[in-house]
């Protein structure tokens, strides 16, 4: 294993330990020593890889967003057409809270800091911009091939992401309120029906 591999693995280890600490203690209540204990390293090692606590926290945010983006890219590559890509985008986004509940809870802690920490606000804003861009590209493909209506791409992408966030938060607060599998299907059908031109069937064929 090269030095670069070791450094990458160690940083990932520290970031994951930070996620666990935020989940356990809350954004404002964990210390670098807590992270060191969870990662099984010294505080000196943490400071070797991260300038300070803010630098570490921004790396945690980046890790959460990158994991989601990688999952979206991996799944949408399997799609045959824009409709399938959008379905997979919605499925991956809605399943984050179930498959990575700890990450989603940590993300909520970060949201509480946007008025106090402009750096965190900027990072979250950048991540949302990336997700909107990904959704917009899928929508643009569908508009181009005629399977989607000609819509305001950023506006519609924003609505899709807002719906996904809202459903995820409701389930996080009370996972008994609806069947998650059914709500995913209903969400996909609702969004796709709003995009489907009148002369195109739900399957995407004229």
Digit-coded pLDDT (tens) for 88-136 = 999 999 998 888 777 777 777 788 888 888 888 888 899 899 999 999 9
Residue 80 inside a domain? The answer is yes
In a domain, 204, yes or no: no
DSSP letter, residue 52: S
Give the HSE-up count for residue 92: Cα atoms under 13 Å, Cβ half-sphere. Answer: 23
Q: Are 120 and 110 in contact (CB under 8 A)?
A: yes
Cα dist from 111 to 61, 116, 163, whole Å: 11, 10, 17
Phi then psi for residue 89, to 5 deg, are -60, -45
70 and 46 within one domain:
no
- Please identify which residue in the block is written with the tokens 């890889």: 49
How many structural domains compose the chain?
2
Residue 65's pLDDT band, with cuts at 50, 70 and 90, is: confident
**Dihedral sign of CA atoms 21, 25, 26, 32 in order:** negative
Residue 190 within a domain: yes
Task: Give the span between the Cα atoms of 181 and 13, in whole angstroms.
Answer: 32
In terms of Cβ atoms closer than 10 Å to its own Cβ (0-12, 13-18, 19+), residue 173 is: exposed
pLDDT digits (tens, 9 = 90+) for 141-182: 999 999 999 999 999 999 999 999 999 989 988 989 899 999
Give yes or no for a contact between 103 and 167, defined as CB atoms under 8 angstroms apart: no
Residue 56 maps to a domain:
no
Domain that holds residue 4: 1-50
pLDDT more than 70, % of the chain: 95
Whether 117 is in a domain gets the answer yes
């Amino acid at each position: 294993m090269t030095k670069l591999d070791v450094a990458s693995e160690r940083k990932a280890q520290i970031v994951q330990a930070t996620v666990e600490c935020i989940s356990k203690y809350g954004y404002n209540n964990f210390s670098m020593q807590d992270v060191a204990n969870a990662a099984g390293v010294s505080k000196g090692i943490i400071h070797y890889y991260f300038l300070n606590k803010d630098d570490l926290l921004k790396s945690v945010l980046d890790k959460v967003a990158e994991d989601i983006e990688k999952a979206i890219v991996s799944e949408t590559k399997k799609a045959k057409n824009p409709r399938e890509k959008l379905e997979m985008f919605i499925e991956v986004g809605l399943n984050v809270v179930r498959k990575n509940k700890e990450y989603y809870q940590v993300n909520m802690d970060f949201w509480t800091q946007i008025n106090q920490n402009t750096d965190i606000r900027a990072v979250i804003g950048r991540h949302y911009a990336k997700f909107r861009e990904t959704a917009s590209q899928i929508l643009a493909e569908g508009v181009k091939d005629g399977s989607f209506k000609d819509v305001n791409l950023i506006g519609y992408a924003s609505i899709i992401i807002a719906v996904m966030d809202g459903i995820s938060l409701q389930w996080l607060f009370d996972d008994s309120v609806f069947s998650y599998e059914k709500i995913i299907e209903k969400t996909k059908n609702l969004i796709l029906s709003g995009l489907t031109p009148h002369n195109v069937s739900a399957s995407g064929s004229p």
